[in-house]
A and B are shown apart, each in its own frame.
Chain A
Amino acid sequence: MIHFVLLISRQGKVRLTKWYSPYTQKERTKVIRELSGMILVRGPKLCNFVEWRGYKVVYKRYASLYFCMCIDEDDNELEVLEMIHHFVEILDRYFGSVCELDLIFNFHKAYYILDEILIAGELQESSKKSVARLISAQDSLVEEAKEQASSISNIIAQATK
């Protein structure tokens, strides 16, 4: 299974973290520091996998961001590399040529998307169409909810004038 997902920038700044196994806050900080140290120094032609504490961490660099997923020893590394790519392709489609800033300023949306791709540490959906459909359903309902809210606040604003 996938134990956690990390998105780290070239400078070691955390852009997204999702934990599917129990890690305390202290452990999380330690994990991030250790893995940043190991992964950010690796050259471009080397394997996209590192062994770490009996697990394996699969990572891939996209422009200035490193996407990392920690998996069990008996998982298929190349498959997980493609899961990372699957996630990136979906982000790309949603944001329209996604870049790091999209993920910084809209990290909560990236989480919503990740929650449709991975669940309980496993791939839950491999069809991009299904993911896109669900996210847009959520977004449109959210838009509806936002409109509702703004119209209510209009009424209140009017009433309190």
Chain B
Amino acid sequence: MEQLKTIGRELAMGSQGGFGQSKEFLDLIKSIGETRSKAEEDRIVLREIETLKSRLSSPNTPKFKLKEYLIRLLYVEMLGHDASFGYIHAVKMTHDENLLLKRTGYLAVTLFLNEDHDLIILIVNTIQKDLKSDNYLVVCAALNAVCRLINEETIPAVLPQVVELLGHQKETVRKKAVMALHRFYQRAPGSVSHLISNFRKRLCDNDPGVMGATLCPLFDLIMTDVDSYKDLVISFVNILKQVAERRLPKSYDYHQMPAPFVQIKLLKILSLLGSGDKKASEQIYTIVGDIIRKSDSTSNIGNAILYECICCVSSLHPNPKLLEAAADAISKFLKSDSHNLKYLGIDALSRLIKISPEIAEQHQLAVIDCLEDPDDTLKRKTFELLYKMTKSSNVEVIVDRMINYMISINDSHYKTEIASRCVELAEQFAPSNQWFIQTMNKVFEHAGDLVNSKVAHNLMRLIAEGFGEDDDAVDSQLRSSAVESYLQIMGEPKLPSAFLQSCILVLCVCVCGLFNFFIYLFYRSFVGSWGNMGLQMENILPHILPGNCVTWQRLIRQMT
């Protein structure tokens, strides 16, 4: 496993004009590498853009120089500058007969353009022509472009030719044709619905690369329509068996594992086919068990396969022996020093929890360690696990932890997600109404502006209308404790305004009852700010509303 060398030695080489580029290009790259500020870099790049603009549009520029200018244009765009003035030259270069130029043109258009670009229409004809070329390298370049640039509208223009290429003598071409169809399916599923039998045929292709590529579209097809492919379970199991028994050419080995990427794809497909289906699962048990047993846990790729096996086991119909093997593998992951393996262990745990809930308890200590790890990725994964593990007996501890974690999060997108998870768990598993209100208040206090306002309204309605308990005393005690806690919170200096508003609404509802609450809303709609309203309310409402005048005055004074 060779590491990349350091820059030192290579700088020496570079100064001799190596790397096969023109001196001008080398100088450009070197000067950009030596800049000390973004402003300096921008100056150089803008100068280069001017140069490229004039040279690209000049009619006297020789074609091979054009090729270099295109590459320099790619470089400029990679640095974040606009190179759209040059796109048309890339398009023109794809028309060229010379392979070197054509290839550069195709590379440039696949990097510059997205599938919806206006210029694509100028390339489609060229692609159509090139797909029919008798030089397989030209066909490959065209297929690469197809996989990147063809969208729903342009599929019909190239589809027939691509289908024909499924039978090309060169395996590289067949492989790329399969991937092109895979992409067509993703863009417009209906466009390849008549080609299912072609995909099935490619599964039996002589070349393992083509077979492996076919797994991509088949996976997508199976995901949308599992039942039509149940007949293929045996075939997939057989292919996986052959791969695992090292019957593919050695060139497909990666770090001593036989075609591991193909194995993983097959395992994913078998997970889909065996999910919720006892009969199909039974056909899959043996091979998965074999692969788990033969797995190499010393290499990353070996562990990747092992992890995929666990995912497969968790979606198949439950099999005690396999579940045990999976649990063992998870233990090893969690005990490892590698953060990557711990991460996978936690993920695998959360998949198995649905089938064997007791597995979480066995690994409690390891889970807590991960929860307290400074690695944010690992922490996040562990909170996902906790979310799935929550039940009435542990909801208080878990939600408490989650709220503390939520407070520490800066990313508002993620904070919102955790906040809504807390709310969801509280709503689902709350052991008591008291705890529920307290918990919801904490969430509002720290993430009030991120939580869906509907949640706040539901909570208020709950408190206002009571929890449906027959005991009025309990109910009113609940309300007064809620009111007390809100009054206390409102005393705190820094509060998100949405929460403040929620508090006040709840207070009004609790203190003055539902009917009078509507009167208050009526008044509120006439005034622009709390300050004004406070004054109004102070004067008017106490005369209309029952309830303790003192409480009202206290409330209003705190608001204004």
Contacts and interface: CB of A to CB of B under 8 A. Distances in A.
B300 A104 contact: no
B115 interface: yes
B264 A79 contact: yes
A138 B103 contact: yes
A105 B144 contact: no
Contact size class for A? Answer: 35 or more
Contact of A122 (B98, B179, B311): B179
Contacts of B301: 78-79, 82
Max chain B Cβ within 10 angstroms of own Cβ: one of A15, A98, A153: A98
Contact of A105 (B19, B62, B216): B19
A154 interface: no
Contact of A78 (B62, B249, B304, B376): B304
Contacts of B249: 127
B175 A104 contact: no
Contacts of A29: 80
A99 B254 contact: no
Contact of A45 (B9, B254, B339): B339
Contact of B116 (A22, A125, A126): A22
Interface stretch (B71-79, B421-429, B513-521, B550-558): B71-79
A85 B4 CA distance: 12
B104 interface: yes
A22 B114 contact: yes
Contacts of B29: 104-105
Interface string A106-147: 111001100100011011111111100010011001100110
Interface string B174-208: 01100110110010000000000000000000001
Given A102-B10, A105-B29, A107-B78, A145 B99 contact: yes
B4 A99 contact: yes
Interface in A74-109: 76-79, 81-83, 85-86, 88-89, 92, 97-102, 104-108
Interface of B: 1-7, 9-11, 13-14, 19-21, 26, 29, 33, 62, 64, 71, 74-75, 77-80, 82, 98-101, 103-104, 107, 110-111, 114-116, 137, 140, 144, 147-148, 171-172, 175-176, 179-180, 182-183, 186, 208-209, 212-213, 216, 249, 251-252, 254-255, 259-262, 264, 300-301, 303-304, 307-308, 311, 339-340, 342-344, 375-378, 380, 413-414
